[in-house]
């Protein structure tokens, strides 16, 4: 009953806060039954957008629904010119909107019901078993046939070898040409007893920025792909959902269920400027403690690479390391 009341409260918040969104370009009438949709909020991410759109278009996303939080870098105008993008503008507080999730929950409720919906940030790139040979529609068809409603993907922080500023990122570039390394281990995992989701921490951010307080490091567990219904709601970013059953993306009997990764292209040459901007705005979780740690750590010009780092090859490599799983999807 407690979680049901929480879900109703989250949906009510989202419905109320819809008034803070102003359509810039609404092309949602072009959405067809069966289309795979992508939902995102952003601020000043234009440099990432060309590669991001191309990546997900090639994967099989048919329509992008974006909330722009008062960008001033031309990103909103760029997206408004794209024929498969609908975009809304808000000047409201990112923090007051539960870090954008009120906006996402409203758009998901209004336009996502009955669709497979992918909710990601502009620096997150989904991979899953066979993604190099099977489009996203093949995965969602299999999930439908298996009566699976949600698909998990661990956030895998990617980074370059050497200082971030020494390898400039240009608009349209593949970020993983330089940020092509990751931690193959160094992760902790525990179960959230209330919501039933798995909580994962660690990786390069754990060892570089939070080595003295690892429990304060960011969560790496995500459930970005969901066959959405109007009664669903994200409770905390894309880390966990309501109803609670959507969070059980693992086999409780010790087996394996299919899962993916979100390659996280946060650590590119633009990171220092971006983190300074976000620290100044103080719009992130826990009074932006995470960005305080980034700002402090960046003063030392860190190199995330270490002797245990692995260069990313393909999804099979991640499966061998136990970071993704095919489960029953052969």
pLDDT digits (tens, 9 = 90+) for 234-243: 998 999 999 9
% the chain with pLDDT above 90: 79
Looking at every residue in the chain, the average pLDDT score rounds to 92
Distance CA(14)–CA(271), nearest Å, equals 30
Tell me the sheet residues that pair with 85.
64
- Predicted TM-score (pTM) above 0.75: yes
Residue 287: per-residue pLDDT: 47
Q: Show the DSSP H helices in 68-134 as ranges.
A: 75-80, 101-107
Q: Are strands 63-68 and 225-227 parallel, antiparallel or unpaired?
A: unpaired
Residue 288: per-residue pLDDT: 47
pLDDT digits (tens, 9 = 90+) for 241-295: 999 999 999 987 667 899 999 999 999 988 877 777 766 665 544 444 665 667 6
Q: The tokens 């409780």 sit on which residue?
A: 252
Handedness of CA 176, 177, 179, 183 (dihedral sign): positive
What band does 153 get if pLDDT is binned at 50, 70 and 90? very high
pLDDT of residue 124 exceeding 70, the answer is yes
Residue 53: per-residue pLDDT: 98
**What is the DSSP annotation of 197-243?**
-EEEEEHHHHHHTSSS-GGGSPP-----EEE--TT-EEEETTTEEES
What band does 61 get if pLDDT is binned at 50, 70 and 90? very high
pLDDT of residue 73 exceeding 70, the answer is yes
Domain definitions of the chain by residue range: 2-320
Architecture of domain 2-320: Alpha-Beta Complex (3.90)
Tokens of 96: 């007051």
**φ, ψ for residue 275 (rounded to 5)?**
-65, -35
Q: What separation in angstroms does the CA of 173 have from each of 41, 267, 325?
A: 21, 14, 28
Distance CA(272)–CA(282), nearest Å, equals 15
Count of helices and strands (H, E) across the chain: 9, 16
% the chain with pLDDT above 70: 92
pLDDT digits (tens, 9 = 90+) for 166-207: 889 999 999 999 999 999 999 999 999 999 999 999 999 989
**How many residues belong to the chain?**
330
Q: Which DSSP category does 127 fall into?
A: E
Distance CA(65)–CA(80), nearest Å, equals 11
Residue 295: per-residue pLDDT: 60
Residue 271: per-residue pLDDT: 82
Please choose, from the candidates 180, 177, 186, the residue with its C-alpha nearest in 3D space to the C-alpha of residue 159: 180
Residue 164: per-residue pLDDT: 86
Tell me the sheet residues that pair with 200.
189
pLDDT digits (tens, 9 = 90+) for 85-120: 999 999 999 989 998 999 999 999 999 999 999 999
Residue 297: per-residue pLDDT: 58
Q: Are 235 and 10 in contact (CB under 8 A)?
A: yes
Mean pLDDT of 4-13: 96
């Amino acid at each position: 009953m407690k979680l049901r009341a929480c879900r109703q409260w989250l949906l009510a918040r989202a419905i109320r806060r819809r008034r803070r969104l102003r359509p810039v370009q609404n092309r949602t009438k072009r959405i067809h039954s069966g289309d795979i949709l992508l939902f995102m909020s952003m601020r000043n991410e234009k440099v990432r957008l060309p590669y991001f759109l191309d990546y997900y278009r090639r994967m099989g996303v048919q329509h992008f629904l974006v909330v722009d939080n008062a960008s001033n870098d031309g990103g909103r105008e760029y997206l408004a010119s794209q024929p498969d993008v609908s975009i809304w503008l808000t000047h409201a507080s990112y923090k007051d909107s539960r870090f954008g999730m009120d906006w996402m929950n409203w758009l998901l409720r209004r336009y996502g019901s009955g669709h497979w919906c992918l909710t990601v940030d502009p620096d997150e790139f989904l991979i899953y078993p066979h993604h190099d040979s099977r489009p996203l529609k093949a995965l969602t068809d299999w999930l439908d046939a298996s009566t699976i409603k949600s698909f998990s993907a661990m956030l895998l922080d990617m980074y370059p070898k050497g200082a971030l500023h020494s390898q400039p990122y240009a608009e349209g570039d593949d970020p993983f040409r330089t940020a092509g390394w990751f931690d193959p281990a160094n992760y902790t995992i525990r179960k959230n007893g209330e919501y039933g989701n798995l909580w994962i921490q660690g990786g390069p951010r754990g060892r570089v920025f939070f080595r003295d307080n690892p429990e304060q490091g960011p969560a790496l567990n995500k459930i970005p792909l969901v066959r959405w219904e109007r009664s669903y709601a994200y409770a905390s970013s894309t880390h966990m959902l309501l109803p609670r059953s959507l969070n059980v993306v693992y086999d409780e009997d010790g087996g394996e269920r299919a899962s993916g990764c979100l390659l996280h292209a946060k650590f590119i040459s633009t990171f220092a400027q971006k983190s300074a901007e976000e620290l100044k705005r103080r719009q992130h979780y826990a009074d932006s403690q995470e960005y305080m740690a980034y700002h402090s750590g960046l003063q030392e010009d860190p190199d995330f690479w270490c002797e245990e780092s692995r260069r990313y090859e393909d999804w099979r490599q991640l499966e061998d390391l136990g970071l993704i799983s095919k489960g029953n999807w052969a």
